[in-house]
Amino acid sequence: MKRDALDGHFFKELFHQQQSKDAVPSNGEMTQWAESVICVLFPQLSTCVLCSEQAIKNRVEELQVNLIEILNATTACLDCNNEGIARQFFLNLPGIYRLLNTDIEAIVAGDPAAKTSYEVIRAYPGFYALSFYRIAHALQKLNVPLIPRILTEQAHSKTGIDIHPAAEIGEYFCIDHGTGIVIGETTKIGNHVKIYQGVTLGALSVKKEFAFTKRHPTVEDHVVIYAGATILGGDTVIGHHSVIGGNVWLTESVSPGSLVYHTPEVTIVEGKYLNTTP
């Protein structure tokens, strides 16, 4: 009977992997960089308040240098113009800031429990996940390898909200509660969309040959998707101003202004046990 053994070949293989591995910074370093960027945009998150415009400018320049260092250490992209990528990312920072502010506004407007934007910034997992997604997506559009996925997986691990960095999400995006949300790689989401916990925007097939096709749904503007809904398929389009009810399983398109709901049979017998003797 063949048995696994800790022999010389095993250790030789492990040593070979150690020598050949990409010299990528730790996930913690990448996460810390992203959190520092978010902190500059939204100092409500921590004590990193900067005392002047020049101090903010200096901090942004430091973070740009940090990004160059991270990119240089990521050997998956040896031919990239890392200085140009970092410069372009920070030129895009005002746009990221604007989008995140629309998300904050949408969450405050869409959740009756949200009292202030400060509360959303400081306490809402949806905002945390969107902050990392917006940064990761900007890097993804600049063809940065690996780092965008690490950032969104960091947000996933902390919030339970899984957004692929390549997904396209418009402005005023509201995530309410959020745990268990999955937004796949080729998903397209319009403006003023609101989704609840447990929503999956996924693929009908996970076959590898479909990797470079549109596998995930398109959600148009002003759509609400309630908890537990599953919407699958790259050809599936949810028309604008539609409402998708909780626990719906949907693999076909719906026209604008549609209401889609699931009707389980629930029986309630009121007062049945009020007069029973113990």
Q: What is the pLDDT of residues 114-172, one digit of tens each?
A: 999 999 999 999 999 999 999 999 999 999 999 999 999 999 999 999 999 999 999 99
Cα–Cα distance measured from residue 11 to residue 87, given in angstroms and rounded to the nearest whole number: 43
Listed residue (73, 82, 88) closest to 25, CA to CA? 73
- The rounded radius of gyration (Å) of the Cα atoms in the chain is 23
Cα–Cα distance measured from residue 244 to residue 106, given in angstroms and rounded to the nearest whole number: 18
Find the largest Cα–Cα distance for the chain.
80
Helix (H) or strand (E) holding 74: none
CATH 1.10.3130.10 intervals, the chain = 24-161
Its pTM stands at 0.89
pLDDT at 271 over 50: yes
pLDDT at residue number 251 = 97
Say which CATH superfamily domain 180-278 falls into.
Hexapeptide repeat proteins (2.160.10.10)
pLDDT at 75 over 70: no
- Bridge partners (DSSP) of residue 259 are 243
Cα–Cα distance measured from residue 238 to residue 231, given in angstroms and rounded to the nearest whole number: 9
Say which CATH superfamily domain 24-161 falls into.
serine acetyltransferase, domain 1 (1.10.3130.10)
CATH 2.160.10.10 intervals, the chain = 180-278
Q: Specify the DSSP class assigned to residue 270.
A: T
